[in-house]
Amino acid sequence: MLAISGSLEVTIGDERIQIVADGQQLTAKIGGERDLRRSLIALARGRPMIRAFAARLNQNGLTLTIVRNGAPLARLGRDTRPSLVDRLLDLPHVTIFPRTPRA
């Protein structure tokens, strides 16, 4: 089983992504808002890559949790539980968290 330790910060345009690795748990923290339409288009285009990446994480015993503004957005790899959305999108080893309403 693979274990990773460290952190990395990536800037893509105006968006900053902070990736932290601790053993088998990786967390990607993303700031800012993204509209639903753009997110769905990106998911549809990137589905084969997401599927392959999630399978590779699972094979290596790693879990990646993607967090936006403190709320979990998705989890890929080993510690995932399939949901109806994940099955419909044919994304094994991926959990997409429902969006929480704003207060």
pLDDT at res. 36:
60
Query: In sequence order, what are the residues at sequence separation of 6 or more whose Cβ sits closer than 8 angstroms to the Cβ of residue 69?
Result: 30, 31, 32, 33
Residue 25 lies in a domain: yes
Whole-prediction pTM value? Answer: 0.80
> What is d(CA 94, CA 75) in angstroms, rounded to the nearest whole number?
6
Residue 52 lies in a domain: yes
Residue 97 DSSP code: P
> 10 Å Cβ neighbour count for 27?
17
Residue 37 lies in a domain: yes
Locus of tokens 């699972």: 58
Residues 15-42 have pLDDT tens digits of 788 999 999 999 999 876 666 666 666 7
> What is d(CA 46, CA 38) in angstroms, rounded to the nearest whole number?
12
Q: Show the domain range for 11.
A: 4-96
Residue 54 lies in a domain: yes
